[in-house]
Amino acid sequence: MSQIKILFVCLGNICRSPLAEGIAKEISKTKNLKFEIDSAGTSSWHEGEVPCADSIKIAHMHHVDISKLRARQVKRTDKNIFDLVVAMDADNKKKLETLGFRNVYLLGEFADYLGADVPDPYFFDTFDEGIENVYTMIERCLTDLIEKVENGTL
Ligand code: 4NP
């Protein structure tokens, strides 16, 4: 399979999309797939920052290290680089389309989430409020997405 490049996008690139990047890299590694995987935010608010503490912690609990990732803003040139662009919610999908991205999927279109937005842990009051569900949703959707890429239906 030729090298597929996938970009995951949320708002700040510190909570949801770094989790998606880390989990997707882990699944690809396990399956020995040579995907190129990155993430970015539609805002520049957290450029250069590490992922949020709760995302680092939940990833670590699942043996995924996202602590070395750093936030960056989406660039127009990303359009020419990535084969698949996957937004964490409808607002960011819309923003990407406004920027001229054409091949934008919603992560919640995969598995059985019926197009739901990935809930944003940035607005959770406590670690236990639901980040485990966020992790599960991202992992299940990614497993389905990657299977579809592998069997050529995406
Ligand atoms: P993310 O979460 O888009 O999943 O990285 C957010 C991070 C920061 C902000 C909002 C959402 N913020 O308002 O700064």
Inter-residue contact 87 to 104 (CB < 8 Å): yes
Beta carbon of 45 within 6 Å of any ligand 1 atom:
yes
Residue 140 to residue 43: CA distance in whole angstroms = 26
Give bridge partners of residue 10 from the DSSP assignment.
Answer: 41
Note the pLDDT of residue 2.
63
pTM above 0.95, yes or no: yes
- Under the banding of pLDDT at 50, 70 and 90, the label for residue 103 is confident
| Candidate from 42, 70, 122, 134 with most ligand 1 atoms within 8 A of CB, to mutate | 122
Identify which of 58, 71, 44 has the alpha carbon closest to the alpha carbon of residue 134: 58
Beta carbon of 69 within 6 Å of any ligand 1 atom:
no
Mean pLDDT computed over 131-153: 97
Which structure tokens are listed for 40? 């970015």
Residue 123 to residue 29: CA distance in whole angstroms = 31
Please write the tens of the pLDDT for every residue from 40-84: 999 999 999 999 999 999 999 999 999 999 999 999 999 999 999
Mean pLDDT computed over 91-120: 97
Output the average pLDDT for the chain: 97
Cβ neighbourhood burial of 49 (10 Å; 0-12, 13-18, 19+) = middle
Q: Domain 5-151 carries which CATH code?
A: 3.40.50.2300
